[in-house]
Structure 1
Amino acid sequence: MFNRRKFIKASALSTALLAIDKKSMANVVPSAVAPTNKPIVISTWDFGVAANAAAWKVLSANGKALDAVEQGVWVPEADESNQSVGYGGLPDRDGKVTLDACIMDEAGNCGAVLALEYIVHPISVARKVMEKTPHVMLAGDGALQFALEQGFKKENLLTPASEKAWKEWLKQAKYEPVMNIENKLYDKASPQKLPGNQYNHDTIGMIALDAKGNLSGACTTSGMAYKLHGRVGDSPIIGAGLYIDNEIGGATSTGVGEEVVRNVGSFLVVELMRQGYSPEDACKEAVMRIIKKKPETAKNIQVGFLAMNKKGEYGAYAIQKGFTYAVCDAKKQDLVIKGKSYY
């Protein structure tokens, strides 16, 4: 039988206990929960330092992560001394410089261009695809037509240095990938004169977390040097070369894109972080899946993943030694870290 007097006493006791609990909890600092490191931007390879610096100008002024990654990768896209991205990039085996890029924001919006010629900043064309069309990807002549309609200027992307390297390659027309060529190409302190047949995978991937806690990412490349005309790797493929989930984190990749595509690499890394993996462990697991599927192939190629979670924690892992990445936050703007590797 319902006892009104007992009910009132029980309710009063519960209210008193709740008040005491709130008062005691007010003095408890949740030290076990690490504060979010924001804003922060990370990117692949040593040349990511200059790219991060441009992105940091946006982030440090409370700008959007999307603007930061776009303006960040503009730097290597326009740097003719960097033969792995954009203007001055090494051409395909027909002597044509074709560029791939994609961009993704915190809301899951994304855009990409594939095999785009004559445009210095493919990342900005990718953003226009995202914002001005109902599509995600535009390719080849269609991508160029769209870029010109949007006011982009048509320019010759084949610089004398890259043309000379291509003509040297033509003497043998032999494709021999060299791992970590991005850093070898960009080592201005001790430049290496490599034979024209030794250039291969080339990318900058960037992920930013802004002051509001929103993530965005960008990935842009001139692709494998001396590739078959029309070849597209992982870089402009959402889920392969780049993936952003604003609840979890973001990931990007570099290296031989075919193997990344086969494993939907960046999406895999983000999903592993969703399951509780740290950024580094998620990157390592994605690398191990490539190695397990094709152990003999993996011995002779490079693939690296770079990731950051919602807390601003980051990590990387690659098949081979030599993969580096750059980090920029309020503490340090020019940090370069050697990623861990399997071999």
Structure 2
Amino acid sequence: MYNRRKFIKISAAGASLAALSSSALAKASFLGQADGFPIVISTWDFGIVANKEAWKTLSSGGRAVDAVEAGVRIPEADMSNHTVGRAGYPDRDGHVTLDACIMDELGNCGSVAGMEDIAHPISVARLVMDKTPHVMLVGEGATQFAVEQGFKREKLLTPESEAAWKEWLKTAKYSPVMNIENKQHAPGNQYNHDTIGMLALDAKGNISGACTTSGMAFKMHGRVGDSPIIGAGLYVDNEVGGATSTGVGEEVIRNVGSFLVVELMRQGYSPEDACKEAVRRIIKKKPQTAKDIQVGFLAINKKGEYGAYAIQKGFSFAVCNAAKQDLLIPGKSFY
């Protein structure tokens, strides 16, 4: 059984990247070297089970965009996951509002924000991409579109989430906890919400990404973070690579974070160095704010090289390819 707190040790390749043949390159390990493809990476420890689902599509030669949609649906449906999907904690008025976006190798993208009563926002975002001339639908309009497409309208506020919200109302203090995915929590504690961002490189060498969240716990009604915003929570350029983010979305939006990471990779940065530079810019703009928040970036390039960087310690990401199915890697951090 998978242990959420067990970090699996990473083995380093013995040969240098320059000395690797093309066949060996596809088998090289982490630490800046290419893992080849297909490969899927995603944020946080719940990315392990999400990656395994995405791998079913990738290992059979399927498209990366189909893989990432299928993968992130797993945490969206997880009733024990209060940071993503149907069991997410509500806003301060008791509404569970969901955000998601998806982007394929052709530059097509779709997004929903502030959507209520629909359990799988990523699949609604996919239909916005595939079936409408728009990129983003929000609020009741997004819900209406989902229902028209055959999705079932249902109450998303679970008894456990409702109990946590009512306990929070006793003080109504908003004090997010960093890296809540790696902490035990019970009603009465202060909560943060977070995101699953997933990036996949399929057998044809094409990249796609998906990002989905229920947003900050007990946020103001109507608040939308970076997760559904193309260029902030997610960005893919099939010539270069893809990036996604997690943490306090306001700071990611202010820096157009995921787009920045991809553009830095275009300039020659490695995925990890690109993520590090994006984090550095957030800290440089607001050094006092950055000390008390978490933002992390995860990226992959066309070679299958991947990397991550965060403001604070505690961020982790999951990797799945033909060689490893359940690798959880602690991301590096500024502090």
TM-score (ref. length: structure 2): 0.90
Correspondence for 1:241 among 233, 242, 246: 233
1:183 shift after superposition: 2.4
1:202 shift after superposition: 1.0
Between the aligned partners of 2:173 and 2:185, the Cα distance in structure 1 is 19
Matched, 1:85 2:77: no
Superimposed CA distance per residue, residues 9-59 of structure 1 (whole angstroms, 9 cap, x where no aligned partner)? xxxxxxxxxxxxxxxxxxxx9857745600000000000000000000111
Q: Which amino acid aligns with 2:208?
A: S
Contact 1:320 1:341 in 2 (8 A): yes
Contact 2:164 2:186 in 1 (8 A): no
SS in structure 2 at match of 1:115: strand
Matched, 1:218 2:217: no
Name the structure 2 match of 1:291.
Answer: 283
Larger radius of gyration: 1
SS in structure 2 at match of 1:73: helix
Name the structure 2 match of 1:317.
Answer: 309
Between the aligned partners of 1:85 and 1:159, the Cα distance in structure 2 is 13
SS in structure 2 at match of 1:87: helix
Gaps of 5+ in 2: 1-17, 27-33
1:200 shift after superposition: 1.7
Name the structure 1 match of 2:186.
Answer: 193
Within a 5 Å distance, the mapping from 1:56-95 to structure 2 comes to 56-95=55-94
1:194 shift after superposition: 6.0
Q: Which amino acid aligns with 1:93?
A: R
SS in structure 2 at match of 1:306: strand
Name the structure 2 match of 1:306.
Answer: 298
Contact 1:98 1:222 in 2 (8 A): yes
Contact 2:243 2:258 in 1 (8 A): yes
Name the structure 1 match of 2:153.
Answer: 154
Within a 5 Å distance, the mapping from 1:31-50 to structure 2 comes to 31=20, 34-35=25-26, 37-50=36-49
Contact 2:90 2:217 in 1 (8 A): yes
Q: Which amino acid aligns with 2:177?
A: V
Contact 2:163 2:187 in 1 (8 A): no
- Cα 1:48–1:31 change in 2 (3 A) is closer
Between the aligned partners of 1:49 and 1:218, the Cα distance in structure 2 is 15
Between the aligned partners of 1:40 and 1:138, the Cα distance in structure 2 is 30
Name the structure 2 match of 1:204.
Answer: 196
Contact 1:201 1:254 in 2 (8 A): no
Superimposed CA distance per residue, residues 226-249 of structure 1 (whole angstroms, 9 cap, x where no aligned partner)? 000010000000000000000100
Q: Across the two proteins, how many residue pairs are aligned to each other?
A: 308
1:335 shift after superposition: 0.2
Name the structure 2 match of 1:167.
Answer: 166
How much is the aligned-residue C-alpha RMSD, in angstroms? Answer: 1.3
Q: Which amino acid aligns with 2:215?
A: G
Name the structure 1 match of 2:125.
Answer: 126
Superimposed CA distance per residue, residues 100-122 of structure 1 (whole angstroms, 9 cap, x where no aligned partner)? 00000000000000000011100
1:262 shift after superposition: 0.1
Name the structure 1 match of 2:29.
Answer: none
Correspondence for 1:336 among 328, 332, 335: 328
Matched, 1:267 2:259: yes
TM-score (ref. length: structure 1): 0.88
Contact 1:178 1:199 in 2 (8 A): yes
1:123 shift after superposition: 0.2
Between the aligned partners of 1:287 and 1:30, the Cα distance in structure 2 is 32
Between the aligned partners of 2:191 and 2:233, the Cα distance in structure 1 is 19
Q: Which amino acid aligns with 2:186?
A: K
Q: Which amino acid aligns with 1:193?
A: A
1:62 shift after superposition: 0.7
Q: Which amino acid aligns with 1:205?
A: G
1:326 shift after superposition: 0.3
Name the structure 2 match of 1:230.
Answer: 222
1:195 shift after superposition: 2.7
Q: Which amino acid aligns with 1:270?
A: V
Superimposed CA distance per residue, residues 51-106 of structure 1 (whole angstroms, 9 cap, x where no aligned partner)? 00000011111111011000000000000100000011000000000000000000
Aligned-pair identity (%): 77
Name the structure 2 match of 1:17.
Answer: none
Gaps of 5+ in 1: 1-28, 185-190
Superimposed CA distance per residue, residues 137-179 of structure 1 (whole angstroms, 9 cap, x where no aligned partner)? 0000110110000010011111111110000000000000110
Contact 1:103 1:112 in 2 (8 A): yes
Name the structure 1 match of 2:113.
Answer: 114
1:322 shift after superposition: 0.1
Between the aligned partners of 2:133 and 2:325, the Cα distance in structure 1 is 37
